[in-house]
Amino acid sequence: MIKRLLPALLLVAFALPMRADFNAIARAIDGHRGVHRVWVPGLGLARFFVWMIQPKGVRDFQLATFNGTEDVDPREMHALMQSNIDRGFTPLVRVWSRKSSEWSFIYARPRPNSDRIELMVLARDDENTVLVRVDVDATVIARELHEHPRNVSRIASQ
């Protein structure tokens, strides 16, 4: 019996790390001094609906919010993200304000054998710190940005 279950367990163990980079980053941020992850009610249900409906080309997402990041150096958060992000991600945006506590780090990687792209975003404004992983259809996003180039923030919020 164990000999039959072992291959199945190994298969599951190697299939799960596709999303391990999000969890590794979230754990690293949560483990930073004074920072703690905030539970978001209904997130699992929202994720299920995104899988079913796929609004504006979004196939999947993961989200984590954090408290206690007011005094955290953005370079520390960038180093945490950079050291825990999975292979294949390329940095697209790395910015922080010297005058406020706002910062953003965006990484992307293409999905193998697909027209999809995976984005990993860690951002902080004056009130919130959020880590988001989004699996999007690159052609839908490109079409939306081409047709409505000035509505980038509206598209991103959907």
* Closest C-alpha among 106, 112, 74, 75 to residue 90: 106
Domains and CATH numbers, the chain: 13-157 (3.30.2030)
124-141 per-position pLDDT tens digit: 988 889 999 999 988 887
| 64, pLDDT greater than 90 | yes
pLDDT range class, residue 8, cuts 50, 70, 90:
very low
Determine the Cα–Cα distance for residues 56 and 79; give it in Å rounded to an integer: 31
pTM for the full predicted model: 0.76
9-37 per-position pLDDT tens digit: 334 344 444 444 899 999 999 988 888 99
Q: What is the pLDDT of residue 120?
A: 92
Q: What is the pLDDT of residue 32?
A: 87
More confident residue, 147 or 47: 47
Mean pLDDT of the chain: 79
Determine the Cα–Cα distance for residues 152 and 145; give it in Å rounded to an integer: 7
